[in-house]
């Protein structure tokens, strides 16, 4: 069996110890561990993702709202559409790179290190061609599945979930990355699909709650406090699809960091489950301790050892 290199070396200079946090986990335990990792460095993960997600959400919103902001189909309007479409593509490419940076950060945090954003981002930028190419290929596959129904698109999205961690943490060209990422995802497919369904339901529930809460607050401000809101109360009604899109984009900004954290953690957990990544790391610790003259008690114990 060929085992890929230890993840996380790019962010910390030396390979971290994934065994410190990674073990064989159920889907629920993986989500709990992802929450703990995200809470440990929320500024790092959120800062990395929002740098790409904010322009992406803004490009989508402007493309949808452009007919209202710029009525008519003159030449300037068509040029604006082209510029926004180009901006959307650039922001999407940046999101794929940021996903790799989050994977690098999660690998370091899972090993007990404190990776910093610039180093994680540099590690992802070094792999940006593969990250961007695999990301757009996965989007095309998801779009093709979603054209049939929502369920096929969700199934394809779960299958492509581990491409970014593989691209950054293992290296390799595009074709080996696709083969490796799809192979690992197939072995973890039930858990990946459960995570995708959970995050989709979380996005829907939070979006609906936020939309209804904001709509109720606007209505009470107008009716109860007799404030002049113009057409705001009509625009922010639950039946307005543009209002629903705006709220959904805000929730996307909040949940996307957690999505990338879960994917990176599932990658590490899958390698621990199928390739013994945690055991290999403990063996490496023992060998390093022996080579430096440390006693066995200072190294991480192997499974089955006492104490």
Question: Is residue 2 assigned to a domain?
Answer: no
Q: Exposed (0-12), middle (13-18) or buried (19+): which is 80, by Cβ within 10 Å? A: middle
pLDDT band for 103, please (50, 70, 90 cuts).
Answer: very high
293 Rama sector, left if φ>0, alpha if ψ -120 to 50, beta otherwise: left
Per-residue burial over 209-242, b if 16 or more Cβ lie within 10 Å, else e, is: eebeebbeebeeeeeeeeeeeeeebeebeeeeee
At residue 129, the pLDDT reads 94
In a domain, 155, yes or no: yes
Per cent of the chain over pLDDT 90 is 21
Residue 15 — pLDDT band, cuts 50, 70, 90? very low
Place of tokens 């590490």: 268
Kindly state whether residue 149 falls inside one of the protein's structural domains.
Answer: yes
Q: Are 49 and 262 in contact (CB under 8 A)?
A: no
Residue 302: inside a domain, yes or no? no
Query: Rounded to an integer, what distance in angstroms lies between the CA atom of residue 191 and that of residue 171?
Result: 24
Q: What is the DSSP letter of 305?
A: -
Whether residue 58 contacts residue 245, with contact meaning beta carbons closer than 8 Å, is answered with: no
- pTM for this prediction: 0.77
Torsion of CA 22, 25, 30, 32, to 10 degrees: -90
CB 101 within 8 A of CB 118: no
On average, the pLDDT of the chain sits at: 78
Helix, strand and coil percent figures for the chain, each rounded to 5: 80, 0, 20
Label residue 208 by pLDDT band (50, 70, 90).
Answer: confident
- CA-to-CA dists, residue 28 to 41, 199, 232, 262, angstroms: 21, 12, 41, 11
Of 88-92, 226-230, 288-292, minimum mean pLDDT range: 226-230
User: Distance from first CA to last CA of the chain, Å, rounded?
Assistant: 31
Euclidean distance between CA atoms 276 and 284, whole angstroms: 12
How many domains does one find in the chain?
1
Assess whether pLDDT exceeds 90 at residue 61: no
Residue at 292 is within a domain: no
Mean pLDDT comparison of 33-37, 132-136, 169-173, 284-288, highest-scoring range: 132-136
Task: Give the domain extent around 195.
Answer: 9-284
> How is residue 260 written in tokens?
């990338």
CB atoms within 10 A of CB 133: 18
Mean pLDDT of 96-100: 94
For residue 247, pLDDT over 80 is answered with yes
> Residue 301 falls within a domain, yes or no?
no
Asked whether residue 79 is domain-assigned, the answer is yes
- Is the pLDDT assigned to residue 45 strictly greater than 80? yes
In a domain, 293, yes or no: no
**Helix (H), strand (E) counts: the chain:** 13, 0
Please tell me the predicted confidence (pLDDT) of residue 111: 76
Give the pLDDT confidence score for residue 168 in this predicted structure.
93
């Amino acid at each position: 069996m060929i085992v890929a290199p230890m993840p996380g070396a790019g962010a910390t200079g030396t390979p971290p110890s994934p065994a410190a946090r990674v073990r064989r986990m159920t889907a629920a335990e993986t989500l709990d561990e992802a929450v703990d990792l995200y809470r440990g460095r929320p500024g790092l993960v959120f800062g990395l993702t929002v740098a790409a997600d904010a322009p992406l959400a803004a490009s989508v919103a402007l493309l949808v709202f452009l007919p209202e902001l710029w009525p008519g189909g003159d030449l300037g309007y068509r040029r604006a559409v082209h510029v926004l479409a180009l901006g959307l593509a650039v922001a999407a490419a940046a999101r794929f790179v940021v996903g790799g940076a989050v994977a690098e950060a999660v690998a370091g945090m899972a090993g007990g290190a404190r990776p910093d954003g610039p180093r994680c981002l540099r590690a992802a930028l070094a792999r940006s061609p593969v990250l961007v190419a695999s990301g757009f290929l996965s989007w095309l596959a998801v779009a093709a599945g979603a054209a049939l129904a929502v369920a096929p698109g969700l199934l394809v999205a779960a299958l492509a979930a581990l491409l970014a961690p593989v691209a950054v943490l293992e290296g390799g060209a595009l074709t080996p990355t696709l083969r490796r990422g799809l192979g690992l995802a197939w072995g973890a497919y039930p858990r990946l699909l459960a995570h995708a369904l959970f995050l989709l339901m979380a996005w829907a529930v939070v979006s609906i709650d936020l939309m209804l809460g904001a709509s109720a607050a606007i209505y009470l401000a107008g009716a109860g406090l007799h404030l002049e809101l113009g057409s705001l109360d009509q625009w922010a009604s639950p039946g307005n699809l543009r209002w629903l899109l705006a709220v959904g984009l805000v929730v996307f900004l909040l949940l996307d960091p957690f999505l990338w954290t879960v994917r990176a953690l599932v990658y590490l957990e899958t390698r621990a489950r199928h390739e013994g990544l945690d055991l290999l790391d403990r063996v490496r610790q023992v060998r390093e301790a022996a080579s430096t003259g440390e006693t066995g008690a200072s190294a991480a114990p192997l499974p089955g050892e006492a104490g």
